[in-house]
C-alpha cells in the first residue's frame, strides 16, 4: 500500500531532480556548503495558522480562539524550484527520498523558455 504525505502549515514536499552538467549555467556555485538544489514540487501545505485577536466592542470580550491561515504557498504542485542545501530536511517515504523545505526558504521558480 502506498503512503500519502500531506505537508502541514507552510512546508513544501519536493523531489530533487537529477543533476546535469552545468558548465554553462547562469547559477553556478562551486562550494559544497552553498549547493543549490533544483527540485519538483510534489505537495504543498495550506499555510501557517496565526491567532487573530480582535478588539472587544460594546462591552464584549475579545475572542482569542479565532485563527486564520497565512497566505497560501507561493508555489504549486509540478513547478521546479531552487533552494539552498542547508535548509533541506531529507525524508524517505515508501523507499523514495524527498525533501521538506519551508516556503520562505525557496530562492525561486525555474521556468523553461
Coil, helix or strand for 86?
helix
- Domain span at 26: 11-110
The answer to whether position 2 is within a domain reads no
Identify the CATH number of the domain in which residue 38 sits: 2.30.33.40
**Per-residue pLDDT tens for 59-108?**
565 565 666 666 777 888 999 998 888 888 899 988 889 999 998 888 88
Report how far residue 33's alpha carbon sits from residue 82's, in angstroms, rounded to the nearest whole number.
15
The answer to whether position 1 is within a domain reads no
The answer to whether position 98 is within a domain reads yes
The answer to whether position 6 is within a domain reads no
Per the structure, the count of domains in the chain is: 1
pTM above 0.85? no
The answer to whether position 3 is within a domain reads no
Amino acid at each position: 500500500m502506498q503512503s500519502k504525505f500531506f505537508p502541514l502549515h507552510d512546508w513544501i514536499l519536493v523531489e530533487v531532480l537529477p543533476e546535469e552538467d552545468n558548465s554553462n549555467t547562469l547559477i553556478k556555485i562551486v562550494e559544497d556548503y552553498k549547493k543549490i538544489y533544483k527540485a519538483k514540487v510534489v505537495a504543498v501545505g495550506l499555510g501557517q495558522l496565526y491567532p487573530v485577536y480582535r478588539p472587544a466592542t460594546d462591552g464584549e470580550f475579545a475572542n482569542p480562539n479565532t485563527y486564520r491561515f497565512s497566505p497560501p504557498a507561493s508555489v504549486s504542485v509540478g513547478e521546479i524550484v531552487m533552494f539552498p542545501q542547508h535548509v533541506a530536511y531529507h525524508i524517505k517515504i515508501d523507499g523514495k527520498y524527498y525533501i521538506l523545505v519551508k516556503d520562505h526558504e525557496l530562492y525561486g521558480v525555474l521556468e523553461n523558455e
